[in-house]
Amino acid sequence: MKKTLIPLLVAGTVLLTGCDQKATDGTSTSAAKPVVEKADAVAVVNGQYISKTTLAELEKEISERGHGQTFPKEKLIEELIQRELLVQDAIQKQLDKSAEIVAQLDSAKKTLLTQADVQNFIKANPVTDAEVKAEYDSKVAGENGIEYKARHILVKTEAEAKKLIAELDKGGDFAKLANKNSLDAKESQNGGDLGWFVAGQMVAPFSEAVAKLEKGKYTETPVQTQFGYHVILREDSRAQTPPPLEAVKEQLMPYLQRKKIQNMVETLRKQAKVEILVPLTDEPAKVPAAPADGKAVEGEPVAEEVIVEEVKDASGKTIAEEVVVDEVVEEKAAEPAKAVAPATKK
């Protein structure tokens, strides 16, 4: 199949052609642009050089967006020439001075400066091996938890659970009873096996009950959770072995970078003088009071009843009041659904 290059294929590529353009206030912007010499150019369009760097950037971006796809160099250079022609034509028509374009350029400039400031900070404040080791010792190696291996039988009512405990007291086989009665083992026929897990992976009443049991013992009273009633058998336990530093280093690095950036932004925020000029929550529309007799006033519109409900997220916070500043990158181990579905063995 013949590959064709669509003009303006990669709209996001920043083209530095060395044009001595005028800013919207009439001042020259050439001082802020790198000067392109003829020896460093791939083409010249009406006296304006297109740099080799610009060509390299276009090749890189096309390769990244096209998953390694490449184009002949002459097609890429022709693409850059066409873009330069359009830029020069737009400037000649003074489109760069229109309010809409000025606003868009200002927005793009702020985005680029934001990214540049973050990259500059990361370059000047790299995450050190010592910081990675300290984070590992604190959050990973320092967790001397216990893993449990258990089975459970889940039923809907307390009476069913008590009946099963009575059968176990008479010597009943736990796995067989689970396959016959448990809500999450009837079809899987796995004997209610949950595999190995840490306490935090289960809902609180379940994990607390497992921790209190001795090896080989089952709960003498039903354990209630939001899923129903459980009869739990603790089969074994062991010390949790943390992964080696090298196995989690690549995960810790970006997390520590984000922490540094967040701290930097918070410092800037504290030092800045900021005034918020708009309300942070939308006030509900006021409904005109109805006359005492309940009748509408002639000539006045009849107001319909408005019911305003507060929208909250899963954590119970009002969405309108919640402002997300940065991504929190700590893994949560909680998996309450594991108390229902059998765990996959490690």
Instruction: Count CB-CB contacts under 10 A for residue 28.
Output: 11
Using 50, 70 and 90 to split pLDDT, how confident is the model at 187? confident
Q: What are phi and psi of 221, to 5 degrees?
A: -130, 150
Res 8 pLDDT > 90: no
pLDDT for residue 9 is more than 50: no
Are 17 and 49 in contact, with CB atoms under 8 Å apart? yes
Q: pLDDT tens for residues 272-294?
A: 999 999 998 877 766 555 555 54
Q: Which of 28-42, 43-57, 204-218 has the lowest mean pLDDT?
A: 28-42
Give the pLDDT confidence score for residue 31 in this predicted structure.
Answer: 42
- For residue 44, how many other CB atoms are within 10 A of its CB? 15
Find tokens 């949560």 and name the residue: 332
pLDDT of amino acid 69: 82
Section 303-310 average pLDDT: 39
pLDDT for the residue 143: 60
Residue range 65-80, pLDDT digits in tens: 888 888 899 999 999 9
Better-scored residue on pLDDT, 160 or 333:
160
Res 195 pLDDT > 80: yes
Task: Count the Cβ atoms, other than its own, within 10 Å of residue 257.
Answer: 17
User: Which parts of 171-244 fold into alpha helices (H)?
Assistant: 174-181, 204-212
Query: Is pLDDT above 50 for 94?
Result: yes
- Would you say residue 262 has pLDDT above 80? yes
pLDDT at 70: 83
Specify which residues 233 forms β-bridges with. 151, 218
Decide if pLDDT at 141 tops 90: no
| Residue pair 258/326 in contact by the 8 Å Cβ criterion | yes
The beta-strand segments (E) located in 13-73 are 41-45, 48-51
Average pLDDT over residues 244-265: 94
Look at strands 193-198 and 223-225 and give their pairing.
unpaired
Q: Does pLDDT of 23 surpass 80?
A: no
Considering the chain, what is the average pLDDT of its residues? 79
Distance CA 77, CA 148 (A): 64
Mean pLDDT of the region 256-265: 96
Looking at per-residue confidence, does 56 or 69 come out higher? 56
Q: What is the pLDDT of residue 142?
A: 62
Q: What is the pLDDT of residue 285?
A: 65
Read off the pLDDT of each residue in 97-123 and give the average, rounded to a whole number: 96
Q: Which of 82-86, 267-271, 318-322 has the lowest mean pLDDT?
A: 318-322
Q: In CATH, what class is 146-239?
A: alpha beta
225-240, pLDDT tens digit by residue?
999 999 999 999 998 8
Say how far apart CA 79 and CA 13 lie, in whole Å: 12
pLDDT attached to residue 34: 72
Amino acid at 300: E
**Is residue 320 a contact partner of residue 282, using CB atoms and an 8 Å limit?**
yes
pLDDT over threshold 60, residue 342:
no
What pLDDT does 80 receive? Answer: 95
Do residues 215 and 237 lie in contact, with contact meaning Cβ atoms separated by under 8 Å?
yes
**Alpha helices per DSSP H over 3-94:** 52-65, 73-92
Contacts of 7 (CB under 8 A, 6+ apart): 79, 82, 83
pLDDT in tens, 152-166: 999 999 999 999 999
Give the integer Cα–Cα distance in Å for 342 and 156: 17
Q: Tell how far CA 16 is from the center of its chain.
A: 33
Q: In this predicted structure, what is the pLDDT of residue 282?
A: 78
Bigger pLDDT: 23 vs 95: 95
Indicate if the pLDDT at residue 147 is higher than 70. Answer: yes
Identify whether the C-beta of residue 151 lies closer than 8 Å to the C-beta of residue 191: yes
Domains of the chain, by residue range, sit at 1-93, 99-124, 146-239
